[in-house]
Structure formats: C-alpha cells, structure tokens
C-alpha cells in the first residue's frame, strides 16, 4: 500500500493536472482558428458539417464557437489555474493559504464548541437520572440521538434486526447509566462464533434451537427440545447454565422473548450455524464528554421514564440547572437567528 501514498504520486498527479489544463487551452485555441474557405470565384464555400442531420435538412455545421463563448472557456481555465495556486489540488501541494478540509472542520467544531459548549456543560456534573427528567436536556439529547444514533437504532430508538431496541429493559451489557455511557464512549464488539461443529451436526443444531425456543415459551418441538438440552452445555460458557446470559460478555438472555436477529427455530439455527458479529463504533472522538453525558441521560430515560419520582434534593438541583441553562439557550438561539 505504501507504493500508492509516497511522494512520487503527488508529483505525478500535479504534472497530469497541469498538462490537462494546458491541453484544454491549446485545444480551445486551435478550434478558434478555423477560417471560412473561399472558392475559386472568391465566394465562401459551404460550411463543413459534422455528419449529423435531423429532419432531412437540419445539419450541424463545423463552425467555430462565438467569441464570447470562447472567452468564457478561457476564463474558466484561468480560474482553475488560480484555484490550484490558492487551494490544494496539485498532488501534495497544500495551496498558498494552506487550507484543508480537516482544518476547516476543526475550526467549525471549535467555533461550535465555544458557542454551544456552555449549554452542554451545564449538565455535565449532574446525575444522569436528574438530567433525564429535565425537558430541555431531553430535547438536546434527542437531537444528539437523531444525529448520531438513529441511523442504526431508528428515530424511535426501537432498533431493528441486528440493532438493539433501546426503549425496553433488555440490555446486552447492562442498562445502568455508567454502562450506557461506557458503551457510547468506547463502543462494543459482540461476537458469537459458529457453533454447529461444536454441537455435533445439523440434527444437534436443530435440537438445540428447539431447546432454546422452549426456554422462552416459543413454538418448538418438545421431543427435540429434550434432546437439545444435553447439547446446550456447549453454549453455557457464554449464555450460562440457566441461559440467562452474561452482560460481562454481551451474551444475550435466551429465556426472554427479546431476539436481536429474530426468534423462531430457523433464525436460531442460522445464528448457531453462521455465528453473529455486531459492532457499535466508539463515539469518544466524535462527541464531547458533555454531549455523551446528555446522550446517556436521553437513552437511559427511554427505558426508565416510569421510575420513581425525583427526590427533593434532585428536584432542587434540576430547577437550578434549568434556570442556569435557559439564558445560554436563549443566547445561542439569538445568535443563530442573527445569522
């Protein structure tokens, strides 16, 4: 791979780019030199055609472009040359002003953090359960969720096949605030290996699938389920002898009715035969700690909205935070409107 990113390629790209621009100018100049041919009698000969004819007599003549049109093309060539001097485009040359997408993005992020950071930071040192009950914090958290998480978990956070539902109480790695925050910050990588060989064969896979379905009361063959119980020992290392999973490993509980890839014997057999691999990317390089804290509160609140009321001390803290955050929100809104 190093052969494609060394300094020679930058030089080659710069040469090809420069030659292409010059070639366009030469081609344009050559086409502007076409002259009308005269006959022996001094009169103009019929113009040459490109060979294209429509509607019997409508011909495309090979005439030079109008002068104003030619100069527009010349101006685009001049502009492109100037652009390549000022901005990067000639291989590894960074341009006169050293502009780059990375630096522009970094500046925008820095400006955004300076403008809106105080609004996020108001909640950073407040308990997640308190932030989760603040209406303004939930609005901010929802927007962060829609921008960052909805692509996989859905705008309603109910997930889909291979993507966990965040609105129920079923958690692969745990649903307490700290665990949710760790998941958002560092990401997760769940992996179940194919288990068909370990179980013994296709019949054993089907028997174990029926046993797994019996654990949650799903449709299954009772006889095959009994036969599969003895083989389930190969799965107990991760899912536990009681099949209730292991949140330290991200191994799901097989005794409830929550299925990440769909329930039913056929789906369970597919999982056993092929294994499953799932990855949630880390967001610590995309979101500030304050944003992760707000997002944690929003996600935690999705499945804990019916928990006990906030204590008096928490209620007081909540009121204080809301009052402090309101001016910052209004200032940010006013700045946005002014733009």
Q: How confident is the model at residue 323, as a pLDDT?
A: 57
Can you tell me which residue has the tokens 């949140």? 247
Q: How confident is the model at residue 249, as a pLDDT?
A: 92
Q: How confident is the model at residue 332, as a pLDDT?
A: 44
Query: pLDDT grade, residue 312 (50/70/90)?
Result: very low
Can you tell me which residue has the tokens 């019916």? 306
Report the pLDDT averaged over residues 265-274: 96
Candidate CATH numbers 3.40.50.2000, 3.30.460.20, 3.30.70.1400, 1.10.760.10; the one for domain 189-280 = 1.10.760.10
Q: CB–CB of 205/289 below 8 Å?
A: no
Mean pLDDT score of the chain: 85
Q: How confident is the model at residue 338, as a pLDDT?
A: 37
Q: Give dist(CA 235, CA 217) in Å, integer.
A: 19
pLDDT tens for 64-90 read 778 888 899 999 999 999 999 898 888
Which tokens go with 219? 């449709």
Q: CB–CB of 192/250 below 8 Å?
A: no
Q: How far is CA 313 from CA 94, 133, 218, 318, in A?
A: 56, 14, 46, 9
Q: Give dist(CA 166, CA 164) in Å, integer.
A: 6
- Whether 335 has a pLDDT exceeding 80, the answer reads no
Q: How confident is the model at residue 336, as a pLDDT?
A: 37
Residue 283 sits at the vertex; the CA angle it makes with 280 and 288, to the nearest 5 degrees, is: 160
Q: CB–CB of 48/59 below 8 Å?
A: no
Residue count (the chain): 339
- Whether 251 has a pLDDT exceeding 70, the answer reads yes
* Of residues 117 and 46, more confidently modeled: 117
Q: Which residues contact 269 (CB under 8 A, 6 or more apart)?
A: 205, 206, 209
Q: How confident is the model at residue 291, as a pLDDT?
A: 95
pLDDT tens for 93-139 read 888 888 888 888 889 988 988 888 898 999 999 999 999 999 999 99
Query: pLDDT grade, residue 322 (50/70/90)?
Result: low
pLDDT cut 90: percent of the chain above it: 59
Is the pTM here over 0.95, yes or no?
A: no
CATH code 1.10.760.10 region(s) in the chain: 108-187+288-338, 189-280
Q: In the CATH scheme, what is the code of domain 108-187+288-338?
A: 1.10.760.10
Q: How confident is the model at residue 48, as a pLDDT?
A: 73
Q: How confident is the model at residue 174, as a pLDDT?
A: 94
pLDDT tens for 189-239 read 999 999 999 998 999 999 999 999 999 999 999 999 999 999 999 999 999
Q: How confident is the model at residue 113, as a pLDDT?
A: 87
Query: pLDDT grade, residue 147 (50/70/90)?
Result: very high
Q: How confident is the model at residue 292, as a pLDDT?
A: 96
Can you spell out the DSSP letters for 267-312?
Answer: HHHHHHHH-EEEEE---TTTS-HHHHHHHHHHHHHHT-TTSPPPPH
Can you spell out the DSSP letters for 133-150?
Answer: T-HHHHHHHHHHHHHHTH
- Whether 302 has a pLDDT exceeding 70, the answer reads yes
């Amino acid at each position: 791979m190093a052969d494609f990113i060394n300094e020679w390629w930058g030089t080659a790209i710069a040469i090809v780019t420069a030659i292409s621009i010059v070639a366009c100018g030469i081609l344009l100049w050559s086409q502007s030199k076409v002259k009308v041919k005269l006959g022996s009698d001094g009169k103009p000969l019929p113009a040459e055609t490109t060979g294209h004819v429509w509607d019997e007599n409508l011909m495309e003549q090979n005439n030079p472009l109008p002068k104003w049109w030619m100069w527009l093309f010349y101006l685009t060539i001049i502009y492109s040359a100037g652009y390549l001097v000022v901005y990067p485009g000639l291989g590894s040359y960074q341009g006169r002003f050293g502009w780059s997408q990375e630096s522009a993005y970094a500046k925008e992020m820095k400006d955004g953090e300076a403008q809106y950071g105080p609004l996020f930071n108001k909640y950073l040192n407040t308990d997640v359960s308190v932030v989760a009950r603040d209406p303004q914090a939930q609005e901010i958290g929802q927007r962060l969720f829609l921008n960052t998480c909805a692509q996989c978990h859905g705008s309603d956070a109910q997930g889909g096949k291979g993507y966990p539902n965040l609105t129920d109480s079923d958690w692969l790695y745990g649903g307490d605030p700290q665990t949710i925050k760790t998941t958002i910050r560092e990401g997760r990588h769940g992996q179940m290996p194919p288990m068909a060989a370990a179980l013994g064969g296709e019949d054993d896979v089907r028997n174990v699938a029926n046993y797994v379905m019996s654990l949650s009361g799903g449709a299954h063959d009772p006889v095959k389920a009994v036969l599969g119980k003895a083989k389930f020992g190969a799965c107990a290392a991760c899912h536990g002898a009681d099949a209730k999973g292991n949140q330290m490993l991200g191994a799901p509980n097989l005794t409830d009715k929550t299925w990440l890839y769909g329930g039913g014997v056929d789906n369970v057999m597919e999982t056993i035969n092929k294994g499953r691999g799932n990855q949630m990317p880390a967001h610590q390089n995309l979101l500030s700690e304050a944003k992760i804290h707000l997002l944690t509160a929003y996600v935690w609140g999705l499945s804990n909205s019916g928990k006990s009321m906030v204590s008096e001390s928490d209620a007081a803290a909540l009121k204080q935070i809301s009052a402090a955050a309101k001016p910052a929100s209004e200032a940010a809104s006013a700045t946005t409107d002014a733009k």
